[in-house]
Structure 1
Amino acid sequence: MTSNDIRFDCRHRSDGGPLVIVPRIDGALLTELIDGFEIAAGMQPAGDAYGGLIPEFFRFGPMQDHFIGRSTNAMGPKTPVLGCECGEWGCWPLMARITVTTDLVTWDAFEQPHRATRDYAAFGPFQFDRHPYDDALRALSEVIGSGVDDARV
């Protein structure tokens, strides 16, 4: 299997609000990827339901820990990779199992916990080479710490 590329878009909400983090996989925003999947699968509701994670609204802990599945607040075996478009991750999250090895980081077993009957088996898995993944997380942490307004890292 070929490796996927990951980056993180960091933007302030259009209302000038807090910083929002959206993973970008192989150049496409994860919000767009999941919208396309849910719409194609005939899921309702679908489309424009997800938004990025807003660290200011919830204490995820360092994003470097969060995106390797070690968020400081226990959320069960899965990690929220997207939140609701309203800004609250618990409202409508996209959860994933994040598995980390020496060489790879894998996102799989996606779920929408408020719709347990939905089948996400055909979404993903996404596999990332560990070193570029760690580089993307370091860049994300630098942007969060720097106060930069908008960045793709």
Structure 2
Amino acid sequence: MISNEIRFACQHRGDGGPLVVVPHVDGAPLTKLIDEFEIAAGMQPAGDAYGGLIPEFFRFGPMHDHFLGLSTSAMGPKTPVLGCECGEWGCWPLMARITATVDLVTWDAFEQPHRKTRDYMAFGPFQFDRHQYDGALRALSAVIDSDAGDTSA
């Protein structure tokens, strides 16, 4: 079975702002992939609507758990994998069902909860090798932990 590759890119918003987490699938930012999908599907509004998640702003719980679909917030059966470009995840989130097994982590059943009529069936699913996925989560946790310990801000 062919699987996708994931990594979580982290960068500070603006000049010394909070850390923003953007999943990358097969080397491409998820923000770019969803923009291209929505524009090609003729969805309005579309393009530059999504941004990464900002762990510092929200009580997602550990990002490791969040990206395994185990977020501590009561968000229903789906997990926000992107937020709005404004930085507020609840404003314009991209939600996905995250299913983890011993061998695979799958992201599917994407939705934009503020536009229930939008059809995302052709977006994804993305299937990640569990070993590679866990490694990406460890790298993400290390960045977030080291950033939290940075007192230079």
Name the TM-score class by shorter chain: over 0.9
SS at match of 2:81: strand
Match of 1:128 in 2: 128
Structure 2 residues not aligned, in runs of 5+: 149-153
Match of 2:143 in 1: 143
Which runs of structure 1 show a deviation greater than 4 angstroms over 4 or more consecutive aligned residues? none
- The C-alpha deviation readout for 1:118-148, integer Å capped at 9, x for no partner, is 0000000000000110010011000000118
Q: Which whole-Å CA distance do the structure 2 matches of 1:73 and 1:66 have between them?
A: 9
Number of aligned pairs?
148
TM-score, scaled to structure 2: 0.95
Q: Which whole-Å CA distance do the structure 1 matches of 2:28 and 2:91 have between them?
A: 23
How far residue 17 of structure 1 moved from its aligned partner, in angstroms, is 1.1
Could you say what the CA RMSD is over the residues aligned between the two structures, in angstroms? 0.9
Match of 1:43 in 2: 43
Q: Which whole-Å CA distance do the structure 2 matches of 1:54 and 1:43 have between them?
A: 26
Match of 1:25 in 2: 25
How far residue 74 of structure 1 moved from its aligned partner, in angstroms, is 1.6
SS at match of 1:20: strand
Structure 1 residues not aligned, in runs of 5+: 149-153
**Percent identity (aligned):** 83
How far residue 14 of structure 1 moved from its aligned partner, in angstroms, is 2.0
- The C-alpha deviation readout for 1:36-86, integer Å capped at 9, x for no partner, is 000000000000000000001101000000000000112100000000000
Match of 2:67 in 1: 67
